[in-house]
């Protein structure tokens, strides 16, 4: 399933890159900054944000972070289990 997600993110990156390459030549700032050009610039920036997010996933920058969070989650679960065991032990003595 991991490779399917990577394949999808690769496809999304390629589509967004193609959209940016089609849109950039059509944005002309020669006439000054108006609503149409402002929208075009905002749209290209948003597409670049999408490209960056997909590349971030494809490069696996968060893998180490996910491993660390999993270790923290396991430690918290062990603490919770120890507290639960202590409560049940005290409750059985009554």
Verify that 44 and 71 share a domain, yes or no: no
C-alpha distances (whole Å) from 34 to each of 42, 44, 46, 56, 92 are: 12, 15, 18, 33, 75
Verify that 13 and 55 share a domain, yes or no: yes
According to DSSP, residue 61 is labeled T
| Tally of domains within the chain | 2
Q: Which domain holds residue 19?
A: 1-61
Verify that 52 and 13 share a domain, yes or no: yes
Verify that 52 and 92 share a domain, yes or no: no
Q: Which pLDDT score is estimated for 94?
A: 54
Identify which has the larger pLDDT, 66 or 79.
79
Verify that 92 and 78 share a domain, yes or no: yes
Angle at 7 between CA 21 and CA 69, to 5 degrees: 110
**pLDDT grade for 68, boundaries at 50, 70 and 90:** confident
Q: Is the pLDDT of residue 89 over 90?
A: no
Verify that 2 and 33 share a domain, yes or no: yes
Q: Alpha helix (H) ranges present in 24-62?
A: 35-58
């Amino acid at each position: 399933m991991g490779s399917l997600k990577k394949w999808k993110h690769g496809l999304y990156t390629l589509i967004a890159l193609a959209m940016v390459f089609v849109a950039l030549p059509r944005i002309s700032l020669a006439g000054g900054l108006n609503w149409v050009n402002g929208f075009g610039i905002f749209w290209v920036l948003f597409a670049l944000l999408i490209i960056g997010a997909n590349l971030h996933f494809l490069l696996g920058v968060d893998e180490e972070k996910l491993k660390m969070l999993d270790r923290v989650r396991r430690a918290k679960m062990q603490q919770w289990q120890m507290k639960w065991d202590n409560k049940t032990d005290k409750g059985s003595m009554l």
